[in-house]
Amino acid sequence: MGGGFRRGGEGRLGFGAMRLPGMPGRQPVDHTTAVAVARRAVELGVTHIDTAAFYTRGASRANEILRRALRPYPDGLTLATKVGPGQDVRAAVEQNLTELGRDVLDLVYLQSGRPDETLDERFAQLAKLREEGLVREVGLSNVTRAQFAGARTVAPVAAVQNRFGVHDQSDAVLVDECAEAGVMYVAHSVLGGGRVRFTDPALRTVARRHGASVYQVALAWGLARSPTLVQIPGTASLTHLEQNMAAVRLELDESEIAMLERLA
Ligand SMILES: NC(=O)c1ccc[n+]([C@@H]2O[C@H](COP(=O)([O-])OP(=O)(O)OC[C@H]3O[C@@H](n4cnc5c(N)ncnc54)[C@H](OP(=O)(O)O)[C@@H]3O)[C@@H](O)[C@H]2O)c1
Protein backbone atom coordinates (compact mmCIF):
# COMPACT_ATOMS: atom_id res chain seq x y z
CA MET A 1 0.00 0.00 0.00
CA GLY A 2 1.18 3.54 -0.88
CA GLY A 3 4.28 3.54 1.30
CA GLY A 4 2.41 3.48 4.59
CA PHE A 5 3.18 -0.07 5.58
CA ARG A 6 6.75 -1.22 5.80
CA ARG A 7 8.21 -3.84 8.00
CA GLY A 8 11.10 -1.71 9.27
CA GLY A 9 10.38 0.68 12.14
CA GLU A 10 10.38 3.90 10.17
CA GLY A 11 7.39 3.38 7.91
CA ARG A 12 5.46 2.06 10.90
CA LEU A 13 5.76 5.17 13.01
CA GLY A 14 3.14 7.44 11.58
CA PHE A 15 1.45 10.60 12.76
CA GLY A 16 -2.06 11.35 14.03
CA ALA A 17 -3.40 14.71 12.82
CA MET A 18 -6.39 14.98 15.18
CA ARG A 19 -4.62 17.48 17.45
CA LEU A 20 -3.45 19.85 14.71
CA PRO A 21 -6.63 21.99 14.74
CA GLY A 22 -6.53 22.03 18.56
CA MET A 23 -8.51 20.08 21.11
CA PRO A 24 -11.32 21.16 23.46
CA GLY A 25 -9.98 22.23 26.83
CA ARG A 26 -6.43 22.71 25.52
CA GLN A 27 -4.49 25.73 24.33
CA PRO A 28 -5.52 26.60 20.75
CA VAL A 29 -2.91 25.62 18.13
CA ASP A 30 -1.98 28.47 15.80
CA HIS A 31 -2.15 27.68 12.10
CA THR A 32 1.57 28.31 11.48
CA THR A 33 2.56 25.82 14.19
CA ALA A 34 0.08 23.21 12.95
CA VAL A 35 1.46 23.50 9.39
CA ALA A 36 5.05 23.33 10.68
CA VAL A 37 4.30 20.16 12.69
CA ALA A 38 2.77 18.41 9.66
CA ARG A 39 5.75 19.37 7.46
CA ARG A 40 8.28 18.31 10.07
CA ALA A 41 6.54 14.94 10.46
CA VAL A 42 7.17 14.20 6.79
CA GLU A 43 10.74 15.54 6.96
CA LEU A 44 11.38 13.16 9.84
CA GLY A 45 10.27 10.17 7.79
CA VAL A 46 6.53 9.85 8.47
CA THR A 47 4.87 8.08 5.55
CA HIS A 48 1.48 7.44 7.17
CA ILE A 49 -0.74 10.27 8.42
CA ASP A 50 -4.09 9.65 10.02
CA THR A 51 -6.80 12.27 9.61
CA ALA A 52 -10.58 12.78 9.29
CA ALA A 53 -12.89 15.52 8.04
CA PHE A 54 -14.38 15.57 11.54
CA TYR A 55 -11.05 16.50 13.16
CA THR A 56 -11.97 20.15 13.56
CA ARG A 57 -11.96 22.86 16.15
CA GLY A 58 -13.95 25.95 15.30
CA ALA A 59 -12.94 26.93 11.78
CA SER A 60 -9.70 24.95 11.95
CA ARG A 61 -9.71 21.60 10.13
CA ALA A 62 -7.03 18.88 10.19
CA ASN A 63 -7.51 18.05 6.49
CA GLU A 64 -7.04 21.64 5.43
CA ILE A 65 -3.92 22.03 7.57
CA LEU A 66 -2.48 18.91 5.90
CA ARG A 67 -3.35 20.22 2.47
CA ARG A 68 -1.75 23.57 3.17
CA ALA A 69 1.34 21.94 4.68
CA LEU A 70 1.98 19.08 2.31
CA ARG A 71 0.58 19.71 -1.14
CA PRO A 72 1.95 18.65 -3.57
CA TYR A 73 1.88 15.50 -1.50
CA PRO A 74 5.15 13.58 -1.61
CA ASP A 75 5.25 10.19 -3.30
CA GLY A 76 4.84 7.34 -0.86
CA LEU A 77 2.79 9.29 1.67
CA THR A 78 -0.38 7.53 2.81
CA LEU A 79 -3.16 9.81 4.03
CA ALA A 80 -5.70 7.68 5.87
CA THR A 81 -9.12 9.08 6.65
CA LYS A 82 -12.48 7.94 7.98
CA VAL A 83 -16.20 7.60 7.56
CA GLY A 84 -17.63 8.14 11.03
CA PRO A 85 -20.57 6.29 12.59
CA GLY A 86 -23.85 7.57 11.15
CA GLN A 87 -22.16 9.51 8.33
CA ASP A 88 -23.28 9.02 4.76
CA VAL A 89 -20.46 6.96 3.24
CA ARG A 90 -20.26 8.66 -0.15
CA ALA A 91 -20.67 12.18 1.26
CA ALA A 92 -17.92 11.58 3.82
CA VAL A 93 -15.52 10.29 1.15
CA GLU A 94 -16.30 13.24 -1.12
CA GLN A 95 -15.76 15.71 1.73
CA ASN A 96 -12.35 14.19 2.49
CA LEU A 97 -11.38 14.28 -1.18
CA THR A 98 -12.28 17.96 -1.41
CA GLU A 99 -10.67 19.03 1.84
CA LEU A 100 -7.45 17.12 1.18
CA GLY A 101 -7.38 18.20 -2.47
CA ARG A 102 -6.99 14.69 -3.84
CA ASP A 103 -8.57 12.72 -6.69
CA VAL A 104 -8.32 9.46 -4.79
CA LEU A 105 -8.02 8.66 -1.09
CA ASP A 106 -5.26 6.20 -0.11
CA LEU A 107 -7.06 4.48 2.75
CA VAL A 108 -10.51 5.04 4.25
CA TYR A 109 -11.75 3.40 7.43
CA LEU A 110 -15.34 2.72 8.24
CA GLN A 111 -15.61 3.54 11.92
CA SER A 112 -17.86 1.46 14.11
CA GLY A 113 -20.07 3.22 16.61
CA ARG A 114 -21.01 0.15 18.67
CA PRO A 115 -19.50 -3.31 19.17
CA ASP A 116 -22.81 -5.06 18.34
CA GLU A 117 -23.34 -3.12 15.08
CA THR A 118 -23.26 -5.04 11.80
CA LEU A 119 -21.02 -3.13 9.45
CA ASP A 120 -21.43 -5.25 6.35
CA GLU A 121 -23.86 -3.04 4.42
CA ARG A 122 -21.94 0.19 5.01
CA PHE A 123 -18.66 -1.55 4.34
CA ALA A 124 -20.04 -2.75 1.01
CA GLN A 125 -20.91 0.90 0.18
CA LEU A 126 -17.34 1.91 0.95
CA ALA A 127 -15.95 -0.99 -1.07
CA LYS A 128 -18.07 0.19 -4.00
CA LEU A 129 -16.31 3.56 -3.88
CA ARG A 130 -13.07 1.64 -4.13
CA GLU A 131 -14.35 -0.04 -7.28
CA GLU A 132 -15.29 3.41 -8.61
CA GLY A 133 -11.69 4.54 -8.05
CA LEU A 134 -12.36 7.15 -5.35
CA VAL A 135 -10.55 5.12 -2.71
CA ARG A 136 -7.50 2.84 -3.00
CA GLU A 137 -7.86 0.74 0.15
CA VAL A 138 -10.61 0.26 2.71
CA GLY A 139 -10.32 -0.50 6.41
CA LEU A 140 -12.22 -0.63 9.68
CA SER A 141 -11.88 1.30 12.90
CA ASN A 142 -12.91 0.60 16.49
CA VAL A 143 -14.05 -2.88 15.59
CA THR A 144 -14.37 -6.16 17.43
CA ARG A 145 -12.92 -9.40 16.09
CA ALA A 146 -16.44 -10.43 15.02
CA GLN A 147 -16.98 -7.18 13.09
CA PHE A 148 -13.58 -7.65 11.41
CA ALA A 149 -14.43 -11.24 10.48
CA GLY A 150 -17.84 -10.20 9.11
CA ALA A 151 -16.52 -7.32 7.02
CA ARG A 152 -13.79 -9.49 5.54
CA THR A 153 -16.47 -11.58 3.88
CA VAL A 154 -17.69 -8.39 2.12
CA ALA A 155 -14.40 -6.95 0.82
CA PRO A 156 -10.67 -7.19 1.51
CA VAL A 157 -9.77 -5.23 4.65
CA ALA A 158 -6.43 -3.46 4.19
CA ALA A 159 -6.19 -2.09 7.73
CA VAL A 160 -7.78 -2.09 11.16
CA GLN A 161 -7.44 0.98 13.36
CA ASN A 162 -8.14 0.31 17.04
CA ARG A 163 -6.92 1.46 20.43
CA PHE A 164 -3.82 -0.45 21.48
CA GLY A 165 -0.63 0.34 23.31
CA VAL A 166 1.64 -0.74 26.10
CA HIS A 167 -0.88 0.63 28.63
CA ASP A 168 -3.88 -1.11 27.01
CA GLN A 169 -3.23 -4.48 25.42
CA SER A 170 -6.84 -5.67 25.48
CA ASP A 171 -6.86 -5.93 21.66
CA ALA A 172 -3.80 -8.22 21.58
CA VAL A 173 -5.60 -11.13 19.92
CA LEU A 174 -6.78 -8.96 17.04
CA VAL A 175 -3.26 -7.50 16.69
CA ASP A 176 -1.98 -11.06 16.23
CA GLU A 177 -4.80 -12.02 13.87
CA CYS A 178 -3.98 -9.02 11.69
CA ALA A 179 -0.28 -9.95 11.68
CA GLU A 180 -1.15 -13.50 10.61
CA ALA A 181 -3.44 -12.23 7.86
CA GLY A 182 -0.93 -9.59 6.69
CA VAL A 183 -3.42 -6.85 7.55
CA MET A 184 -2.03 -3.53 8.78
CA TYR A 185 -3.08 -2.85 12.37
CA VAL A 186 -2.99 0.87 13.11
CA ALA A 187 -2.86 1.55 16.83
CA HIS A 188 -4.48 4.79 17.94
CA SER A 189 -4.16 6.43 21.36
CA VAL A 190 -0.77 4.71 21.79
CA LEU A 191 0.26 7.39 24.28
CA GLY A 192 -3.01 7.09 26.17
CA GLY A 193 -4.60 10.06 24.44
CA GLY A 194 -2.94 12.38 26.97
CA ARG A 195 -5.12 10.89 29.74
CA VAL A 196 -2.90 8.03 30.95
CA ARG A 197 0.06 8.57 33.27
CA PHE A 198 2.87 6.28 32.21
CA THR A 199 4.09 5.64 35.73
CA ASP A 200 4.46 1.86 35.65
CA PRO A 201 7.77 0.87 37.29
CA ALA A 202 8.73 -1.54 34.47
CA LEU A 203 8.23 1.20 31.88
CA ARG A 204 10.28 3.63 33.93
CA THR A 205 13.06 1.10 34.47
CA VAL A 206 13.36 0.40 30.74
CA ALA A 207 13.26 4.13 29.97
CA ARG A 208 16.04 4.85 32.50
CA ARG A 209 18.17 2.05 31.07
CA HIS A 210 18.01 3.57 27.58
CA GLY A 211 18.14 7.21 28.64
CA ALA A 212 14.77 7.57 26.89
CA SER A 213 11.35 8.87 27.91
CA VAL A 214 8.52 6.54 28.86
CA TYR A 215 6.68 7.69 25.72
CA GLN A 216 9.61 6.67 23.53
CA VAL A 217 9.71 3.26 25.21
CA ALA A 218 5.95 2.87 24.69
CA LEU A 219 6.43 3.56 20.96
CA ALA A 220 9.50 1.30 20.65
CA TRP A 221 7.52 -1.49 22.31
CA GLY A 222 4.72 -1.05 19.78
CA LEU A 223 7.19 -1.33 16.88
CA ALA A 224 8.60 -4.52 18.36
CA ARG A 225 5.20 -5.98 19.24
CA SER A 226 3.99 -6.88 15.73
CA PRO A 227 5.45 -6.54 12.23
CA THR A 228 2.15 -5.21 10.83
CA LEU A 229 1.56 -2.69 13.60
CA VAL A 230 1.65 1.00 12.66
CA GLN A 231 1.41 3.67 15.38
CA ILE A 232 0.02 7.16 14.92
CA PRO A 233 0.98 9.19 18.00
CA GLY A 234 -0.74 12.56 18.03
CA THR A 235 0.86 15.85 18.94
CA ALA A 236 0.71 19.52 18.10
CA SER A 237 4.19 20.03 19.52
CA LEU A 238 7.36 20.04 17.41
CA THR A 239 9.40 18.93 20.40
CA HIS A 240 7.14 15.97 21.13
CA LEU A 241 7.07 15.04 17.45
CA GLU A 242 10.89 14.94 17.32
CA GLN A 243 10.99 12.86 20.51
CA ASN A 244 8.40 10.44 19.19
CA MET A 245 10.16 9.93 15.85
CA ALA A 246 13.45 9.23 17.66
CA ALA A 247 11.78 6.12 19.14
CA VAL A 248 12.44 4.38 15.79
CA ARG A 249 16.09 4.14 16.82
CA LEU A 250 15.34 2.67 20.24
CA GLU A 251 15.80 -1.09 20.30
CA LEU A 252 14.40 -3.05 23.21
CA ASP A 253 15.75 -6.51 23.99
CA GLU A 254 13.57 -9.60 24.34
CA SER A 255 13.46 -9.41 28.14
CA GLU A 256 12.35 -5.76 28.04
CA ILE A 257 9.67 -6.54 25.48
CA ALA A 258 8.42 -9.39 27.69
CA MET A 259 8.47 -7.15 30.79
CA LEU A 260 6.29 -4.59 29.04
CA GLU A 261 3.99 -7.23 27.58
CA ARG A 262 2.96 -8.14 31.11
CA LEU A 263 2.11 -4.53 31.92
CA ALA A 264 -1.50 -4.35 30.91
N1 LIG B 1 -10.18 5.76 15.30
C2 LIG B 1 -10.45 6.42 16.40
O3 LIG B 1 -11.53 6.30 16.99
C4 LIG B 1 -9.43 7.34 16.97
C5 LIG B 1 -9.60 7.83 18.28
C6 LIG B 1 -8.61 8.67 18.79
C7 LIG B 1 -7.52 9.01 18.02
N8 LIG B 1 -7.39 8.54 16.76
C9 LIG B 1 -6.21 8.86 15.93
O10 LIG B 1 -5.07 8.58 16.72
C11 LIG B 1 -4.24 9.73 16.79
C12 LIG B 1 -3.61 9.79 18.15
O13 LIG B 1 -4.59 10.00 19.15
P14 LIG B 1 -4.36 10.97 20.38
O15 LIG B 1 -3.57 12.13 19.93
O16 LIG B 1 -5.66 11.20 21.05
O17 LIG B 1 -3.58 10.06 21.38
P18 LIG B 1 -2.06 9.71 21.69
O19 LIG B 1 -1.22 9.70 20.50
O20 LIG B 1 -2.13 8.53 22.57
O21 LIG B 1 -1.67 10.89 22.70
C22 LIG B 1 -1.47 12.18 22.38
C23 LIG B 1 -1.24 12.92 23.71
O24 LIG B 1 0.07 12.68 24.17
C25 LIG B 1 0.78 13.90 24.18
N26 LIG B 1 2.10 13.60 23.65
C27 LIG B 1 2.44 13.23 22.39
N28 LIG B 1 3.76 13.01 22.29
C29 LIG B 1 4.26 13.24 23.52
C30 LIG B 1 5.57 13.19 24.05
N31 LIG B 1 6.63 12.86 23.30
N32 LIG B 1 5.75 13.50 25.35
C33 LIG B 1 4.71 13.86 26.12
N34 LIG B 1 3.43 13.92 25.68
C35 LIG B 1 3.22 13.62 24.39
C36 LIG B 1 0.00 14.88 23.34
O37 LIG B 1 0.10 16.18 23.80
P38 LIG B 1 0.90 17.33 22.97
O39 LIG B 1 0.02 17.80 21.86
O40 LIG B 1 1.16 18.35 24.01
O41 LIG B 1 2.16 16.69 22.47
C42 LIG B 1 -1.42 14.39 23.58
O43 LIG B 1 -1.93 14.87 24.80
C44 LIG B 1 -5.15 10.91 16.49
O45 LIG B 1 -4.41 11.98 15.95
C46 LIG B 1 -6.11 10.31 15.50
O47 LIG B 1 -5.53 10.41 14.22
C48 LIG B 1 -8.32 7.70 16.22
Report yes or no on 83 lying in a domain. yes
Domain limits at 32? 10-261
Ranges under pLDDT 70 in the chain: 1-10, 264
Distance CA 123, CA 156 (A): 10
Nearest CA to ligand 1 atom 31: 240
Angle, helix 62-70 to helix 89-100, in steps of 10 degrees:
40
Contacting residues for 59 by C-beta, under 8 A, at least 6 apart: none
- pLDDT value at residue 4: 37
**Residue 116 counted as domain residue:** yes
Type and span of the H or E element at 119: none
- For 2-15, write each residue's pLDDT tens digit: 333 334 566 899 99
Instruction: Confirm whether 148 is domain-assigned.
Output: yes
Instruction: Please give the tally of structural domains in the chain.
Output: 1
Q: Would you say the CB of residue 191 lies under 6 angstroms from ligand 1?
A: yes
Residue 152's CB is within 10 A of a number of other CB atoms, namely 14
- Whether 14 maps to a domain, the answer reads yes
CATH of the domain at 203: 3.20.20.100
User: Annotated catalytic residue: which of 55, 73, 109, 185?
Assistant: 55
Separation CA 61–CA 51 (nearest Å): 10
Strand partners, 260: none
Strands 56-57 and 159-163: unpaired
Query: Can you tell me whether residue 4 is helix, strand or coil?
Result: coil
Which residue intervals of the chain are DSSP H helices? 31-43, 62-70, 89-100, 120-131, 145-152, 172-181, 201-210, 214-225, 238-246, 254-261
**3 located within any domain:** no
Number of other residues whose CB lies within 10 A of the CB of residue 87:
19
Q: pLDDT of 15-59, one tens digit each?
A: 999 999 999 888 889 999 999 999 999 999 999 999 999 999 999
Q: Which residue type occupies 22?
A: G
How far is the centre of ligand 1, averaged over its atoms, from the C-alpha of 22 (Å)?
Answer: 11
Q: What is the CA radius of gyration of the chain?
A: 18
Cα 190 to middle of ligand 1, angstroms: 7
Tell whether 218 is covered by a domain: yes
| Residue 137 lies inside a defined structural domain of this protein | yes
Helix 238-246 vs helix 214-225: crossing angle, to nearest 10:
50
**Ligand 1 site, residue 48, Cβ cutoff 6 A:** no
111 in a structural domain? yes
Share above pLDDT 70 across residues of the chain, in percent, rounded to a whole number: 96
| pLDDT confidence of residue 218 | 97
Q: What pLDDT score does 60 carry? A: 95
- Check if 73 is active-site: no
- What pTM did the predictor assign? 0.96
